[in-house]
Amino acid sequence: AQKVTQAQTEISVVEKEDVTLDCVYETRDTTYYLFWYKQPPSGELVFLIRRNSFDEQNEISGRYSWNFQKSTSSFNFTITASQVVDSAVYFCALSTYKYIFGTGTRLKVLA
Amino acid sequence: GAGVSQTPSNKVTEKGKYVELRCDPISGHTALYWYRQSLGQGPEFLIYFQGTGAADDSGLPNDRFFAVRPEGSVSTLKIQRTERGDSAVYLCASSLDGTSYEQYFGPGTRLTVT
């Protein structure tokens, strides 16, 4: 069975703080893909990153970074020096033969 | 270029009526997905098209729900005998080719069944 768990329902931070959003997944497949999406208040889901199961190299894109660890089945997302515009719901997703989304983490960045 | 578009953006219908929701994917994307998102939840998979055929319709909740993609581009999600529990945002997404690729989402159709 496939499953994605985002245990943090809601996180509040003050602007400029760093914040990490957790994602734990379950799958028996050896080939799979992991994704993060952002859903701002406007409602439209925006793609952030895609990772395949054979590439455990961490990635940094500006203030965003992702840590993929197969040993713990985790794909965590860190925002450095958070800004108010980062306020949104963030979804982690797992894809093998189908896409499964987590329940999302609502991030509130306070000025 | 143009993103995924969905029409209508909002639909209010009475219980028992039939509704159609339309999705126009990104040109050249062979894979198309429908999801349903209830308040405070993640997108819930409904159906996935590869080209004209439904590659996976295991997420459709019951036989009141049906979707088509006759020419491999535009898709229509059809809901018969709507119930109040069908109220949600219906999201469409497309991707280049299959489930290994990132999906690009439309703005959604907010369906309210009264």
The whole-chain average pLDDT of chain A stands at 94
With CA atoms as reference, the chain B residue closest to A36 would be B102
**CA–CA distance, B12 with B7 (Å, rounded to integer):** 13
**What's the CA gap between B35 and B17, in Å, rounded?**
21
Cβ separation B93–A97 shorter than 8 A: no
pLDDT tens digits in sequence order for chain B, 114 residues long: 589 999 999 999 999 999 999 999 999 999 999 999 998 889 999 999 999 999 899 999 999 999 999 999 999 999 999 999 999 999 999 999 877 778 899 999 999 999
Q: State the CB neighbour count (10 A cutoff) for residue A64.
A: 16
Q: How far is CA A10 from CA A80, A87, A88, A89, B21, in A?
A: 17, 11, 10, 9, 31
Collapse the DSSP code of B35 into the 3-class scheme (helix H, G, I; strand E, B; otherwise coil) and give the result.
strand
Q: Which of A43, A50, A99 sits opposite B107 (nearest CB)?
A: A43
Residues of chain B with Cβ-Cβ distance to A7 below 8 Å are none
A25 burial via Cβ count (<10 Å: 0-12, 13-18, 19+) = buried
Q: Confirm if B7 and B108 have CB atoms less than 8 A apart.
A: no
